[in-house]
Amino acid sequence: MSTPQQLLHQGIEQLNLTIAPQAITQIEYYMAALQKWNAAFNLTAIREPKDIVIKHFLDSLTVLPHLQQPTLLDVGTGAGFPGLVLAIAQPELQVDLLDSNSKKTRFLRQMVAELALKNVRVHHARVEQVNLSAQKQVISRAFSSLVDFCQWCEHLLADDGILLAMKGLYPQSEIDDMPASMRVLSSTPLTVPFLAEARHLLVLGREFPLPKGEG
C-alpha cells in the first residue's frame, strides 16, 4: 500500500501539475503537522492519513490550473483547504485565508511561519465582519449551497470579481436558487486522483457589471 507521501506524488503526477520539489516538500511537512495538530485540536473530521491526502490535499490541487487571478481569498478555509495548499504550490499567488475558528487560524499562522510563506495572510474573523479590499477571486469549500456562498461573499467581490465554488455533483437545484445578481460563468468537471466521486468547479460572476464606484 502506498504511503501518504507516495499518494501525494502519484496524485500530482496524475493531475499533470508542475510543482517545484521544494513546494512538494513543504506540502509534505504541512501534511505531517496537520496529523499532529489534529490529534489535539480536531482541525478536520477526516483522520485517516490516506483520506487526508486525497480528500484535502489532492482535492485542493485539482483547482490549481483553473485559477484566473494573481490573488485569492479562501473563505472558511478551515485547516487551509484549498487556499494554503494552492499558496504553497504556486508561490506567486497572493492568498488570504479567512476562518472564524481560532484553533484553525492559530494552526494556519504556525504553518505560514514554519514554512516561511511570504504570500499568505491569515484572518481570524467572520466573513460578514472581515475588512478586506474588493476581491478579484474568492474560493470556498465551506458553504453547503451556492445561495449561501453568494449571499455571504458577494459583498467581498470587485465589480469584475469571481466566486469559485468547489462542489460535488453538478448542483442544478442550487443554481436555480441563486440570487438574480449572480450567474454561472462556467462549470468544469474535476477528477480527484484515487477518488470515485463527482467534483465540479463553478465560476460565478455578477449578472450585470456594476457602475464604477458601486462595487
Q: The cell 437545484 sits on which residue? A: 173
pLDDT value at 138 more than 70? yes
Q: What domains are there in the chain, each with its CATH number?
A: 4-206 (3.40.50.150)
pLDDT value at 31 more than 80? yes
pLDDT at position 144 is 87
pLDDT class for 141, splitting at 50, 70, 90?
very high
How many Cβ atoms are within 10 Å of 131's Cβ, its own excluded?
6
Q: For residue 49, with 0-12 CB atoms within 10 Å meaning exposed, 13-18 middle and 19 or more buried, which class applies?
A: middle
Q: 55-84, pLDDT tens digit by residue?
A: 999 999 999 999 999 999 999 999 999 999
Q: 122-137, pLDDT tens digit by residue?
A: 999 999 888 899 999 9
pLDDT value at 212 more than 90? no
CA distances from residue 174 to 71, 74, 127, 162 in whole angstroms, order as listed:
27, 21, 21, 17
173 vs 210: which has the higher pLDDT: 173
pTM over 0.85: yes
Q: 7-24, pLDDT tens digit by residue?
A: 999 999 999 999 999 999
